[in-house]
Amino acid sequence: MLSYELSIRGPLFETTNKYQHLKLEVNVGSNVIEPPDALRRNPRYQDLMPYIAVVMKEDEILAEKTHALLFRHTAKARDLFDLYFILKKEAVITPILMDSKMRAPGQRFSAERLERRIGLLKPIWARELSRLLSDKEFVGYDEARRTVLNGFRLAGML
């Protein structure tokens, strides 16, 4: 994993004199299995030209985020939120894809581990996500947990 934190003078710098912080994490240990999607983007800002974004398919992102939730050294509420968010967009959990994303020897999907790791996030949920999401975007822990576990049930993995 490559991790970068950038401090930049964003659009409000002139009035606030505060830098904006942007954290980038690049997973170099993961292979893309499915052919990526090419999405045409037309930014609403006049100084940005239209472009094509090459992105991983949502089903594969679900598998990546599940791996992160299960095996990341420190559990992160954003992993559960990301699973919730993608499942709400009607992405599908694919057991074969899940198995292929479990990279290291001994790393296998486990329903018990999933439920245990999700449970670890309850005490940190509001604190971690309130600084990442607006009040309008914020989703309660119980709703996220219910949606994600239901997605795995529908896939026959729980």
pLDDT 10s per residue in the chain (158 long)?
788 998 888 777 888 888 888 888 777 766 888 999 999 999 998 888 999 999 999 999 999 999 999 999 998 999 999 999 999 998 999 999 998 888 766 788 999 999 999 999 999 999 999 988 999 999 999 999 999 999 999 999 99
Residue whose entry in the numeric block shows the structure tokens 């599940």:
66
Domain residue ranges in the chain: 1-30, 57-154
H helices present in the chain, as ranges: 13-16, 58-71, 77-88, 95-101, 111-120, 125-130, 141-154
pLDDT the model gives residue 12: 77
pLDDT recorded at residue 55 = 92
Q: Which pLDDT does position 29 carry in this prediction?
A: 67
The CA-based angle 59-61-66, given to 5 degrees, is 100
Q: Supply the pTM of this predicted model.
A: 0.81
Tokens representing 136 are 């309008």
Q: Which two tokens stand for residue 52?
A: 């094509």
Distance between CA atoms of residues 59 and 62, nearest Å: 5
